[in-house]
Structure 1
Amino acid sequence: MSQCFDAIPLFDSYHSFYALDRGKLFSEDTPVVKKFVQSMTITVPEAITDYKLVKDFLWSKCRQSEATYNAFRGESERFLLWAWCIHGKSIAIMKKRDIEAYIDFVVNPPKSWIGTQVCRRFSVNDGLKEANRAWRPFVVKLSKAKRKESLRSTTPSNIKPDTGDYALAQKSLIEVFSNLSVLYSHLVEGDYAIGNVIAAVKKACPNLTIDESRGSVNRLSARQWEYVLESTKAKADEDPNWERHLFIIASMKSLYLRVSELSCRPKWTPKMGDFYQEEDDWWFIVFGKCNKKRKVSVPIDFLDYLRRYRLSRGLDDLPAVGELSPLLHPIRQHNPGLRARTIAILAQEAFDLASEKMTRDGFEDDAKVLLATSTHWLRHTGASMDAENRDLKDLSTDLGHGKLCTTDKEYFHTDDKERAVSGRTRRV
């Protein structure tokens, strides 16, 4: 089979996918997909059945979450394209050695299958969607830190990623195994595949490394967090538009929020009334993963940030019972709140501001870390700092973890600095 890339994307966006009737295999506005899948039956007669089963899998598994759909779509699509275009087999008859061959392919794909930028899958022409010829199943990107360092340089360089720089992260490889395992469990339940060998392949995979050399989560140090908080607070004192930045970072760190839990979504828009008081205690209602609601305890110290943000918006100092004001006032007035992408951009502006100040103050290594920081670090930072003083069960409940062992594994571990001190005096 040819190693060149002459395939196309198979599945459209989340909203377009679920707008199509479940019983209809191909959308009328993307005839290019139907034509491509039919062409695959020349070498893989079961290609249309493969496509139908994967489409049904995505429909069943991913309806509740666009992020889940995107994750499973990407892996399922890539797997189908490899099976048809390179391996020449239906996914129903894959055996252990076939899956091992796919994992080797994912770890080291042909350069022709790797793109250097994220592209739209389809473009519209005369009412029909055509496959974007620049789209690729794999993408190599510059790290966020490298991009920002280049922009800050006195002589900014137009650094572009090279397909030869592609490397699959261990976390991504683990996700490949996880996504494939869920897919094959679905196929086995439907009597399409004879078994699920993913766990066996994972166990013997030479490319998978268990890394216990680092801490379990990415988090900011106490000094980095202090710079982020104080520099954002100082900026908000000068410019009221930054009160929203300050409230976002304080909320995510203090209430252990995921960016999705702070954002406006199709099924949920966070409101000020989600904060409520019971006797002397304040709580915040969170709509989290798997469509589960939970209440998070609100520290007294956080109320100062809630007050100043509300006052900047012309509201009373603390929320009233059932208040319907959006938690984060939108940039565009017709929106009910802020989307996750916008929240991430505002948080990154706060990280960049702190990074610049740390550089000026001589903490260049700390400043570089902030360039690569994401919003999820704030959740980990808050939980890691509070783990020293909070009961495991209380922290786990506020984080929304289903199991205590998840919290224990991620946040209750030996501090590296303390371990290094205790190890210095060991004798040979």
Structure 2
Amino acid sequence: MSELLARHRAVMPNWLALNYNEPIEIVSGKGNRVVDAEGKSYLDFFAGILTNMIGYDVPEVREAVERQLATGVVHTSTVYLLRGQVELAEKIARLSGIPDAKVFFTNSGTEANETALLLATYARGSDQVLAMRQSYHGRSFGAISVTSNRSWKNNSLSPLNVHFLHGADRHLAAFRGMSDAAYIQACVEDLRHVLATAVAGNVAALIAEPIQGVGGFTMAPDGLFAAYKEVLDEQGILFVSDEVQTGWGRTGSAFFGIQNHGVTPDMMTFAKGLGNGFAVGGVVARGDLMDALPAVGLATFGGNPISMAAANATLDYVLDHNLQANAARTGAVIMDGLRRAAERLPVVKDVRGKGLMFAVELESPAQAARFMEETKKAGLLAGKGGLYGTVIRMAPPLTLTIDEATEGLGIIVDALEVINAEAAAQ
């Protein structure tokens, strides 16, 4: 492995992050487990950054891709009719709840968010956009401009005029201890103040993650975005829900994360889990917004036959097996166990999440790194995040079983006990 790591470092950029002191190469997977090049097996609680949504080597997905490969047609581009693309768009439009919805497919969440920002700024004739503090929306020029996490921003240059809102920052002294209702009221008053002071004329849109991924699974209390939308609607400001991580039933309590707020947005962006590892992203939006662009457009690889075969099979699997309910059930096992453990482990500063999207906040980045190494040693993969690098974020495949949830919880609690004992001894 050291030889492959040396080759990686020689040809890949220094900023391309690798997990673990000794990074692993994953060479096979089955169900919700993967195996590295040394033959060690891991229960996967990060799912390729929430992307292997229904696990590994799923027959329904594999066979759908193989059937498409057998036709010999891997690519045609969107200048031809693509049956799989139309079928998937029909399903997503129906599930979205957005009136007269239309869908445009891209290759990634970053590209999906760029498309949504283009639609919004064109529709409103404005480069002014609202976004949330601690947000992350991608790595491209426009997506970085609506990202509010210094660790992920390469520069301050921007094609947009962006103002950032409160809503996922209750750890701040100004909000600490507030009830949900009081916090929502304070955030809405701040939104009105921003609109009265910081912007000029039309604002194009608010873009927001229902649960912030890179932000460490911080989230607005349910109902905040409904309250925000009332204010936005007064001025015709569009609302874009970034569902790249929260879509397809992962939160357990709703099929799309924004539905936990009782809101139907003007647009939703999606990617990651929909293809179960195959590259697919996109935007579902009101038809009038989607149709309004005056220039000719296409997507060379967006909606390609292979990704569409995988995505159709994945979405059908999620729906046919009611994986949203499974996320609620197995997520509750883990969250309840983590909260019980936190009561006796001072090193745990917070436990948060919904369904199979949960996080543990520790006291320091060093403790988070220590957790990663301990759980790796015990055979569980997790991820890091949070504004200050102190959060362990986990999102297993939606196919996680109760036994696997219990097993993973045990590994997590054991690692936290080790870190807590080390902190107490210092």
Which TM-score tier does this pair reach, normalised by the shorter chain? under 0.3
Structure number having the greater helix percentage: 1
Relative CO higher for 1 or 2, CA cutoff 8 Å, sep ≥ 6?
2
- Please report the TM-score for the alignment, with normalisation by the length of structure 1: 0.21
The structure having more radius of gyration, on CA atoms, is: 1
Taking structure 2 as the reference length, the TM-score comes to: 0.21
- Give the strand-richer structure, 1 or 2: 2
